[in-house]
Structure formats: structure tokens, C-alpha cells
């Protein structure tokens, strides 16, 4: 969907006019090809081969810089704080990340891990984190079809992790990154920092069983995805507004769920909110799979229109 030329304008028109000859939107030109990534031969590269440019972000575990590898390849470089993970443990996890490739992952290209600070080198997503992108564009022309498409892209990447039995554990808008043409990819998976000082998780995105019992699974990721859907439709609003994290989990465990968002540039459709509620079912095994979520959002408008016709016929 996001690779169709003129997607944002055309899709909004064809949804209301019905023009499209059976397609979700009218094709106005050939689908542009996304540039292929440069494949590094070795996971470990010399630190001297990477030039740091401007700082583009920071977090609990380190800072992120735009950079260049061998003065030719644009990359992002995350510089980890000293002590958040041992070099040995990091390298094992980095190898795992390097082996898992998917079109909807921010690709790990290489590392500099022989000495600290450890550098993680990934493809550069030119528009930064999804959270910042949503907030910057809150008053601009992002329409519901783009929000739905982003939800489908994220679920696509997570569906692959689902098949590989890999748990993300930190799925939220700040862990998703935006490239060109509203192309979004899942980042920050695969490396969990587990030294005593840094065992942290984002409480407002965390499923009850993960918060209370430390039972993280792909189903706890589904819970987090439901919160991410809230971030998408509200253009980066903080979840559970007005409720402090210290009080939140006991209330959620007792049945509290966020109500349907009523403020924001885009009204939240009922079917969209219904999926959020399905992601927040208390019993983890009753939550939808990412394969289902990908299919649902990838065919969202056809599915919603069909459901509407069935409801009106009844």
C-alpha cells in the first residue's frame, strides 16, 4: 500500500468515489522500488570506518547519531552507555538480530563491540521515530488510510517475529521508525538489557502478566500493539492520560481499559477501537495473533465496508 505513487491523495478519493477498478486505490504510476540495503560482509566492523554526524536521538541506554560508513553509506549509530550489557552477551544477541531479516525491520548492518562503548549500526530511517513523526505531523495532512497502512506494516513485521518465537518486549511508537513515503519499520528488537541496574520496561505499554509475573510473550507484545494503535490514532498522545504509572497496573488488572479516543485530528472508528480492545483481553491466549492483525489492517477498508453491509442487511 505505501509503495503506490500518489497513495495519500488518491486513496482518499477512491474510497469515497469508488474509482479504482476493483483495487483499493487507483494506480497512477508504477510502484517505485525501495532502495536495497548495502550488505556488510562482516558483523564486526572497524570503528574507524564509521563517521559520526549529527545526534538524532537519545534514550535510557544510549544516544543515536546519523553517520556514514566508509564515507558512502548513510547509517544510524546507537552508542550504548557503558555497563548496560556485557560485550560477550551483546555480540551473541547481535548475531541473532543480524540473521533475522525482514522488510519491516530496521536492519542491523554491523556492530563495533570489541571495546566499549558498543556501537550498533543500522539502516538510517530518515524521518526518525514514529512517535516524533506523529507529533510533528499532528496538524498536517496525514489521513486515516495512512494510519491504517502504518498499523498494517508494523503488524507485518511483528507477524514474522511471531513465526520465529521472538518476543520484542518494547513495542511502542518510539520503537518504530519512519523512512520515506510513510514507510515504517520495527526497531529495537532482539537485544534486551538485563543487568540489574537496567531491568526496565515501559509500564503503560506492558501487559499485566508481564508486569506482575515477568511473563513476556508474543501475546504481551500484542497488548503493547494495542497501545501503539492508540498512539497512532491520537498522533502520539501519551497512553492512559491523567493516570500515573505507579497506580496504573492494579487498575488495569482490575479491568480498566482506555476509552475510545475522542480528541485528535482523526476520529477513531469503532472497528479500529474494537481491535484495540481485543489486544487488551486479560487472558493472553485470547488476544489476536499478529498474522490476523496484519491481515485485518492490510484489508481494513474492504473488511469494514463488508461488515457494514452485513449489519445493515440484518
**What's the whole-number mean pLDDT along residues 256-266?**
90
**Hey, what's the torsion of the CAs at 27, 2, 166, 234, to 10 degrees?**
-130
pLDDT level of residue 158 (50, 70, 90 thresholds): very high
Q: Return the active site residues.
A: 170
**What's the whole-number mean pLDDT along residues 152-156?**
98
Tell me the residue length of the chain. 314
Q: In the chain, where does DSSP find H-type helix? A: 7-17, 87-99, 130-136, 144-163, 208-213, 218-233, 245-253, 270-279, 290-298, 300-313
Count of beta carbons in the 10 Å neighbourhood of residue 18: 8
User: What integer pLDDT is reported at residue 25 of this predicted model?
Assistant: 54
Contact 159, 291 (CB under 8 A): yes
Please give the model's pTM, rounded to 2 decimal places: 0.81
pLDDT level of residue 27 (50, 70, 90 thresholds): low
pLDDT tens digit sequence for 88-97: 778 777 877 7
pLDDT tens digit sequence for 176-206: 999 998 999 998 765 544 433 344 678 999 9
Whether 288 shows a pLDDT value over 90: the answer reads yes
Cα dihedral 270, 182, 187, 131 sign: negative
Contact 224, 261 (CB under 8 A): no
By mean pLDDT, which of 36-40, 50-54, 156-160, 177-181 is the weakest? 36-40
DSSP letter string, 96-131: HHHH---TTB--EEEEE-SSSSPEEEEE--TT-BHH
Q: Which of 7-16, 135-144, 152-161, 298-307 has the highest mean pLDDT?
A: 152-161
Running DSSP on this structure, what letter comes out for residue 23? S
User: What integer pLDDT is reported at residue 15 of this predicted model?
Assistant: 40
User: What integer pLDDT is reported at residue 57 of this predicted model?
Assistant: 81
Instruction: Write down all domains in the chain, each with its CATH number in brackets.
Output: 1-32 (no CATH), 47-123 (3.30.200.20), 127-304 (1.10.510.10)
Whether 139 shows a pLDDT value over 90: the answer reads no
β partners of residue 184 = 178
What integer best gives the mean pLDDT of the chain?
82
User: What integer pLDDT is reported at residue 36 of this predicted model?
Assistant: 53
Contact 293, 155 (CB under 8 A): yes
pLDDT tens digit sequence for 231-247: 999 999 999 998 887 78
Strand bridging mode 119-123 / 108-112: antiparallel
**What's the whole-number mean pLDDT along residues 91-112?**
85
Amino acid at each position: 500500500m505505501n509503495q503506490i505513487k500518489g497513495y495519500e491523495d488518491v486513496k482518499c478519493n477512491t474510497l469515497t468515489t469508488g474509482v479504482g477498478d476493483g483495487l483499493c486505490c487507483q494506480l497512477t504510476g508504477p510502484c517505485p522500488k525501495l532502495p536495497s540495503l548495502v550488505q556488510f560482509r562482516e558483523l564486526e566492523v572497524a570503528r574507524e570506518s564509521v563517521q559520526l554526524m549529527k545526534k538524532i536521538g537519545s534514550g535510557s541506554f544510549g544516544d543515536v547519531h546519523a553517520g556514514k560508513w566508509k564515507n558512502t553509506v548513510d547509517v544510524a549509530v546507537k552508542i550504548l552507555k557503558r555497563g548496560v550489557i556485557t560485550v560477550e552477551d551483546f555480540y551473541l544477541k547481535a548475531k541473532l538480530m543480524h540473521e533475522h531479516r525482514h522488510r519491516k525491520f530496521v536492519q542491523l548492518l554491523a556492530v563495533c563491540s570489541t571495546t566499549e562503548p558498543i556501537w550498533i549500526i543500522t539502516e538510517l530511517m530518515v524521518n526518525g521515530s514514529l512517535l516524533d513523526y506523529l507529533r510533528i505531523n499532528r496538524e498536517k495532512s496525514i489521513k486515516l488510510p495512512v494510519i491504517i497502512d502504518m498499523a498494517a506494516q508494523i503488524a507485518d513485521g511483528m507477524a514474522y517475529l511471531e513465526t520465529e518465537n521472538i518476543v520484542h518486549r518494547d513495542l511502542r511508537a518510539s520503537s518504530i521508525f519512519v523512512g520515506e513515503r510513510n514507510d515504517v519499520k520495527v526497531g529495537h528488537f532482539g537485544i534486551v538489557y538485563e543487568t540489574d541496574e537496567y531491568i526496565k520496561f515501559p509500564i503503560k505499554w506492558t501487559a499485566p502478566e508481564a508486569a506482575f509475573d515477568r511473563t513476556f510473550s508474543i501475546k504481551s507484545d500484542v497488548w503493547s500493539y494495542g497501545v501503539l494503535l492508540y498512539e497512532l490514532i491520537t498522533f502520539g498522545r501519551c497512553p492512559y492520560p491523567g493516570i500515573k504509572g505507579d497506580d496504573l497496573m492494579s487498575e488495569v488488572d482490575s479491568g480498566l481499559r482506555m476509552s475510545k479516543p475522542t480528541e485528535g485530528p482523526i476520529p477513531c472508528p469503532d472497528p479500529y477501537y474494537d481491535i484495540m480492545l481485543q489486544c487488551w483481553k486479560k487472558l493472553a491466549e485470547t488476544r489476536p495473533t499478529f498474522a490476523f492483525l496484519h491481515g485485518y489492517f492490510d484489508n481494513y477498508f474492504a473488511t469494514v465496508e463488508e461488515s457494514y453491509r452485513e449489519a445493515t442487511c440484518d
